[in-house]
A and B are shown apart, each in its own frame.
Chain A
Amino acid sequence: MSAGSQAEAAVSTERRASGMTFTLEIWRQRNADDPGRMVAYEATRVSPDMSFLEMLDLLNEELMRKGEEPFAFDSDCREGICGMCGLVINGVAHGPGTGTTTCQLYMRLFKNGSRIRVEPWRARAFPVVRDLVVDRSAFDRIIQAGGYTSVNTGSAPDANATLISQARAEEAMDSAACIGCGACVASCKNASAMLFVAAKVKHLGVLPQGQPERRQRGVTMLETMQEEGFGNCTNEYECEAVCPKEISTSNIAFLNREYIRNLVSLSSLRPLVTSE
């Protein structure tokens, strides 16, 4: 063990014993009509190994012990795969740390004694339900508008019935990694859902199973995105920087190409074939 990491271990042992302390400013809002405000709380005896959500749980238990009303926040899997736990922490969606959801964010990333501001996703299309909880059902409606494929039901097809190259499968999987958390919207200065829509359109669009609806998919999902009140992309690339699944904005370029391709292809009857 090097001297540096020994010192680090000593510090973290000490912190484990006494715990870390933070001043949290948390957005409190009773319901959609309440204007809401930031409220400050002290979080003490926080272990550096706690996740951000565990730290919030601890604080809520403390509030309940004191007879105060706990604050509401969302979570489900707590392992970075469901997309429920979005919070804006010190102005950054899912907080510091790259490629992580809030539930996978650990308190050791924060400076002991620092002030942490926690706010909900902000977008017209994601209204606040209460405190830190927002309604993300606009994303469901975008998916309903085109984020699906039509398949025949029945017994499972043979695994080798539809051949897909490794490279193509990887490309589709990169886009399919999107968990619909909404951080892209939260971080976009235009509250645009372009990265989310693009990830879905590309994921399905590059696979043979996605071809039947390929022509309309981009258009209908995009129309729904606009109807739900999300903004327009202005290519500032804030979304990919906070995306827990590191979805690249090259997906947005793909979506733009899909749109152009639809405009310029002369016959609406001609099927779009994917060229490998």
Chain B
Amino acid sequence: MILSSSIGKKLGMALTGLLLFGFLLAHLSGNFLLLKGDGGATFNAYSEFLVGHPLLIPVEFILLGIFLLHIVLAISVARDNRRARPVGYRVSASVGGRSVSSRTMIYSGLTTLIFVAVHLKTFKYADHAGDSLYGLVVTTFTSELYVGGYAVAMVLLGFHLWHAFQSAFQTLGLHARPRLRGLSIGLCILIAGGFAMIPLAIYLGK
């Protein structure tokens, strides 16, 4: 019921989206351990701690649910919106707040989905018996293709986050766009730049 109403869908997207922001920040702080320069000891310990944790599986399911809900709602909203204007304009101009980021949300979102699938296959569900996770990460990031692809995916994610962050607050009833502009840009540079920097650092450090 709620999730079929126009604002309900957007509320669902805003809440799940902000939770995903939280996940990204947590994930990023974990990844920074890769740069500690101790041959991966801390990172491996951290990864083993997570893998052994009894709450890991339930938390993963919750995360998957949040992610899927966000995507299902995003696709539903995008589909409604496409139907709402069957005949377009011959000439159209933007005089308001549209940005590259806002007009490409569904595409930056979908590329993120593809990235996540590849990413899970490479690191989470990879067969790395005999090698630590750190070892796997370091070997993977010797490939230019992988490092480059990763960076591109992060730029696209950054574009998604740029519009998403301030948009979520408006959806939640907080009209704070001018005040949030700096924070929005800062966060998306931190998250996208942070994630993209790690493989680059590993690649250059080799």
Do the beta carbons of A241 and B173 come within 8 Å of each other?
A: no
Q: Does B80 contact A (CB under 8 A)?
A: yes
CB distance from A130 to the nearest CB of B (A): 15
How far does the alpha carbon of A238 sit from the alpha carbon of B89 in the complex, in Å? 15
Residues of chain B within 8 A (CB-CB) of A230 are: 84
Task: Name the residue on A nearest B103 (C-beta).
Answer: A189
Q: Quick one: which of B6, B87, B177 has the most chain A CB within 10 A? A: B6
Q: Does A175 contact B (CB under 8 A)?
A: no
Do the beta carbons of A88 and B89 come within 8 Å of each other?
A: yes
Which listed residue, A88, A90, A232, A236, touches B102 by the CB 8 Å rule? A236
Q: Does A16 contact B (CB under 8 A)?
A: no
Q: A249-B175, A253-B175 are in contact. Are A239 and B96 (CB under 8 A)?
A: yes
- 0/1 per residue, A62-92, Cβ < 8 Å to B? 0000000000000000000000000010111
Chain A, 175-204, CB within 8 A of any chain B CB? 187, 189-192, 194
Chain A's interface size range is: 35 or more
How far does the alpha carbon of A222 sit from the alpha carbon of B9 in the complex, in Å? 12
Residues of chain B within 8 A (CB-CB) of A248 are: 175
Q: Does B167 contact A (CB under 8 A)?
A: yes
Do the beta carbons of A222 and B88 come within 8 Å of each other?
A: no
Q: A223-B5, A232-B9, A237-B96 are in contact. Are A256 and B173 (CB under 8 A)?
A: yes
- 0/1 per residue, B17-57, Cβ < 8 Å to A? 00000000000000000000000000000000000000000
Residues of chain B within 8 A (CB-CB) of A242 are: 95-96
Chain B, 163-195, CB within 8 A of any chain A CB? 163, 166-167, 170-175, 177
Residues of A within 8 A of B (CB): 25, 27, 38, 88, 90-92, 117, 119, 122-125, 187, 189-192, 194, 219, 222-223, 225-226, 229-242, 248-250, 252-257, 259-260, 263
29 A-B pairs (CB sep. < 8 Å): A88-B89, A90-B93, A92-B93, A124-B84, A125-B84, A190-B80, A190-B81, A190-B85, A192-B6, A194-B6, A222-B5, A225-B6, A231-B85, A234-B77, A234-B105, A235-B167, A235-B170, A236-B97, A236-B103, A237-B96, A237-B98, A238-B96, A240-B96, A248-B175, A252-B170, A253-B174, A256-B171, A256-B173, A259-B11
